[in-house]
Structure 1
């Protein structure tokens, strides 16, 4: 692998990557979808790699580098395609609407709802993902918080922190944890070692904010929503798909993405029977078109992952990640490096950061890999723009939840971050 860190192609690639990332950060201002600049940047960076290697007489080696990254992205893409399709199907079957209606009809006070929505966000994000969970809980907060802007603000902050924390201790809760699992750095059950640190990460700021939540009670609301036929079957098959993916990796030593694709087959067959029964009974609600749920996948997000993974991978081929690894992990040590990387995820998306760490592949203990999984998963909670959950809720809640309203409580979330790291270092000391 050539060292291109001081080569004109390498320097130009860094400029291209930074320019693309600036456009990603200001997506709300420019209205340029985030996938477009990073896809362009990825293509240009690899073109410069090809030119530099060809001029140096090593052009035949670039294919192997690119093929390795294509394999990594392909596994991630297929896994996410199936997971998102199941989530879309549950939404189409009105599963999330039923959950929201039940929560709205409980008649709890603001403080009770604050605790309940946060706790549910923490639990559900480990099964679904932090973005979907935050949006579902956000609709509950907005439905009941029309009379109290303060409740909306604090409830949204709690949900963002809880969603990110809950997604950190399972391979399915966040893209970064999925990447760590697929890379083989941690086994499926290993992630649960950071359950307690993840819980502390939410409980500390939630406990502080609890006393700022209004003590009143929202006006009771009654909303009747009926799930479409087959909803329970979809949920059961989703759970079975997760079991299949884990079994493929742990027992058959096959990529978990293959297990997820088998799970997509489960859904397709279930949709076939629902469609047949719906046509026989003339019940349109029973009909499930699984292909239409695949079409609803957020392609902007999947293509953004493509651009980021290939752009960062290209910078790694040029030697920049080896340089960063030397500065962080060799000079500072893995503990401080992992804490810093996690804190950076509040400003820089955690996906390129985690992919960079996995590409650097520093020599770390089991406990250190758990630490970077924890910090990269929860560090983005310190700013509203630090995670997909925060960005999505800002768009959903508008004036009720903003960058500045979140920033006022960053100190409390930061205390949770420090407490989570301390808890991990204490309870999982034997893994270091």
Structure 2
């Protein structure tokens, strides 16, 4: 009965997110409340059983450590982005890289490839935030903005599958020795093809040109130094993780501290104080939403739902199971899901392991709550709701299916 009740809480949380506009209850508040209720229920049920309580304590500690790491990482990244946005530096960079006037179709393809490339060399959170800043630099209508947001989510998740620096699940499968770096590189072609395909689908019926908002601002030395610190932090995060296994959160917190130290060089105390206050511009709804979602996923892991899915996975053809597992990651965090699948030790060929890598990396794009990128987009763009994003799921599913199919074809032909 306990498992059914807790699964029911998860379904209720999903419904609260879906019908947020109907019930007028912020999704961050509803998911946080139900996530806490789920864990309280676990503790109450374990009352009097010392071993069960210790096991729940251990699981909660692991869950909270994962959440705290993500919170600190998001806080550091979002503080940088808040500063660069407020100064107009992202918009100015967009004007340098992208044409001021261009067609919507061309914009979609350029944004998609930019987001994919950025997420391949740095984390998904940073890639999403920077890509959203790029979108906001253009004067787009509501429908196009939602499409662009969905495209960014898909592109960001696609970019991480071909490099171990781009996605945690890719790194997990690589560290287990199931794929090699050269084999992972073969995922670039199918991932890029799926991203361009989605951009072309979204651009159907789009006419006319769009222009970016002209930004005419003078940047002082402090602004330039902080921008340099941000990009140096992104590069350092990748290099330190590869060379010394330094967790990304530590590198970004170091970068944040450098930002504040640079702020000390400002000419007045008022300027120095204002730089520190950019941390207050971090939208805590995003952090609370992550907290609620990860509490619920942690609970599902605790009651064995993910292990049951791994057992079910082993019952079918790996080519089908991989595709379904990727789709399931739109509802369940792909990291614990991948960990459960790896624990099951399925006997897969190289092409099937590459298929699983692509699936669990990209499948979360099918729903707005299926990936960190989707949750950030929902929280940062008021136009994007769960229901609004859901309208584009058929196109996202078609692109996901295309990318997965091409992955299997290329991998089977190569290996």
TM-score grouping bracket, smaller chain normalisation: 0.7 to 0.9
What is the alpha-carbon distance in structure 1 between the residues aligned to residue 231 and residue 98 of structure 2? 26
Task: Give the 3 Å change call, closer, same or farther, for CA 367–56 of structure 1 in structure 2.
Answer: farther
The whole-number CA distance in structure 1 between the counterparts of 2:35 and 2:97 is: 44
Q: Deviations over 1:159-194 (max 9, x none)?
A: 6324422343239x9xx965437x744479787553
Closer/same/farther in 2, CA of residues 240 and 343 from structure 1, 3 Å limit? same
Name the structure 2 match of 1:311: 296
Say yes or no: does 1:342 pair with 2:326: yes
Change (3 A) 1:212 1:45: closer
- Cα distance, 1:100–1:57 mapped onto 2, change above 3 Å: closer
Count of residue correspondences: 397
CA offsets per residue over residues 286-319 of structure 1, 9 Å max, x none?
7573432222222222222222222222222222
The yes-or-no answer on 1:418 pairing with 2:413 is no
Aligned pair partner of 2:193 in 178, 200, 205: 200
Look up the match of 2:12. Answer: 19
Report the Cα distance in structure 2 between the residues aligned to 1:370 and 1:81, rounded to whole angstroms.
33
Distance in 1 (alpha carbons) for counterparts of 2:369 and 2:311? 29
Q: 1:299 corresponds to which residue?
A: 284
* Equivalent of 2:34 in 41, 56, 68: 41
Q: Secondary structure at the match of 2:101?
A: coil
Q: Supply the distance in 2 between the matched residues of 1:26 and 1:194 (Cα, whole angstroms).
A: 36
Secondary structure of the 2:311 match is: helix
How does the TM-score come out when normalised to structure 1?
A: 0.74
Partner of 2:132: 135
Q: CA deviation at 1:421?
A: 0.9
State how far apart, in whole Å, the 2-side matches of 1:302 and 1:119 are: 27
State the alpha-carbon separation in 2 of the partners of residues 88 and 240 from structure 1.
17
Q: Is the 8 A contact 1:130 1:167 kept in 2?
A: no
The aligned counterpart of 2:232 is 240
Distance change (3 Å), C-alpha of 1:79 and 1:367: farther
Distance in 1, Cα, partners of 2:240 & 2:87: 28
Secondary structure at 2:244 match in 1: coil
1:160 alignment partner, one of 150, 159, 163: 150
* TM-score under structure 2 length normalisation: 0.77
Question: Residue 4 of structure 1 corresponds to which residue in structure 2?
Answer: none
TM-aligned CA distance change 1:385 to 1:243, over 3 Å: closer
Q: Counterparts of 1:7-406 in structure 2 under 5 Å?
A: 8-58=1-51, 59-100=53-94, 106-124=100-118, 127=122, 129=126, 131-133=128-130, 135-141=132-138, 143=139, 153=143, 157=147, 160-170=150-160, 179-180=168-169, 184-186=172-174, 194-208=187-201, 212-214=205-207, 216-217=208-209, 223-226=214-217, 228-229=219-220, 230-273=222-265, 275=266, 278-279=267-268, 289-327=274-312, 329-344=313-328, 348=331, 352-359=333-340, 361-363=343-345, 371-372=355-356, 374-379=358-363, 381=365, 387-388=374-375, 391=378, 395-396=382-383, 403=388
Q: 1:179 to 1:227 in 2, by over 3 A?
A: farther
**Aligned equivalents of 1:252, 1:81: Cα separation in 2:** 23
DSSP-derived class of the 2:268 partner: helix
Q: What is the DSSP-based 3-state SS (H/G/I as helix, E as strand, rest coil) of the residue aligned with 1:54?
A: coil
Partner of 1:108, secondary structure, is strand
- Structure 1 gaps of 5+ residues are 1-7, 147-151
The alpha-carbon distance between structure 1 residues 67 and 414, as it changes in their structure 2 partners (threshold 3 A), is closer
Contact 1:238-1:263 within 8 A present in 2 as well: yes
CA deviation after TM superposition for structure 1 residue 394, in Å: 7.3
CA distance in 2, matches of 1:82, 1:270: 15
Moved more, 69-78 or 101-110: 101-110
